[in-house]
Structure formats: C-alpha cells, structure tokens
Amino acid sequence: MRLSYNINDYLAVEAEGNLFEFAIGDHPTDDVLAAQGLVGVKAGLRNRRIGVFTKVRPGVANFPQLKVNRRFCSLILPCEGAGRSGNRFTVDTGAVVELYPTEKIIVRFDIGDTMIRFKDDSLFRSSGLVRINDGFSHNFQWGVGVGFRF
C-alpha cells in the first residue's frame, strides 16, 4: 500500500507498507514473511501526461524470525539463547515513472534498490539457523501499479 502527497509538480512525500517473503543469498526462506514500512520523498519533473522521479525512502523492515547474537555471553545469558529483535533499518532508492492517462488515474513503474542493514544476525527457520552477514543487503525491486488521484 502506498500513499503519496504531491507538494508541487517537482516534489512529493510518500509512505509505503509491504509484506513479502524474504530470501538470504542462496538460502530461500519460504517459511518467513517480513513487513516493511518506508517514508520519504520523490523528486523530479512532471507534466500533464508523464512524470519522471527519483526516490529516497528510509524506514524499517521487521523480520519476526530474526535473532540477534549477543556480544556478551555468560552462564546466565548464553550466546545460543539470544533473543529475537526483528527490526532493521531500511533505505529504498531508485527511479519512478508515472503515466497519467486521465485526470484521476496514475500508472506507476518503480525500479530500485532496497538496502537492509543487518548486524550479527541469524534467522530462525524450520530447518535451523541461517547466518546473515553484517552490512547492507542490496535487494533489486521493481513494481507496476495503478493508482487513483483525489
């Protein structure tokens, strides 16, 4: 779901929420769903029939099966028993092309890179734990949608 407010012909504020299946490298995680929330800006040029924009939207991705490995281990807090903490910083950057076939309809094409910051994480799966490397995960995403203007 996406909401957008056009400040003028060149700048808009956007919010987007998604649910999706998550995969880590060569490890498909078909038993794991993730949620993502983004808020940011879309800037570019628009006329009566077409708009071409860039987008930058920071936010958060939630992975319910994500486990954080503890830095400090003891008999009371063993490393293997680390708790879950599924929220991770996310940034979505890319390009947007919008077509305006009528005054009230928008056809939108998105392409971009959704970067997710992982930090010493493991993912619980039915088949065991999958280790996620530290750093940003780059995820190519594209989308096509139809929207309505009010």
% of the chain exceeding 70 in pLDDT:
71
Inform me whether the pLDDT recorded for 3 exceeds 60.
yes
How far apart, in whole angstroms, are the C-alpha atoms of residue 113 and residue 140? 5
The pTM for the full model equals: 0.76
Give domain limits for the chain.
2-148
What would the mean pLDDT of 18-42 be, rounded to a whole number?
A: 74
- Closest by CA to 3, choosing from 36, 40, 51, is 40
How far apart, in whole angstroms, are the C-alpha atoms of residue 99 and residue 130? 42
Task: State the fold for domain 2-148.
Answer: Porin (2.40.160)
Residue 136 pLDDT level (bands cut at 50, 70, 90): confident
Q: What is the pLDDT of residue 88?
A: 86
Q: What is the pLDDT of residues 82-128, one digit of tens each?
A: 555 678 899 999 999 999 999 999 999 999 999 988 876 666 555 56
Q: What is the pLDDT of residue 81?
A: 47
More confident call, 28 vs 20: 20
Q: What is the pLDDT of residues 61-75, one digit of tens each?
A: 887 767 665 555 555
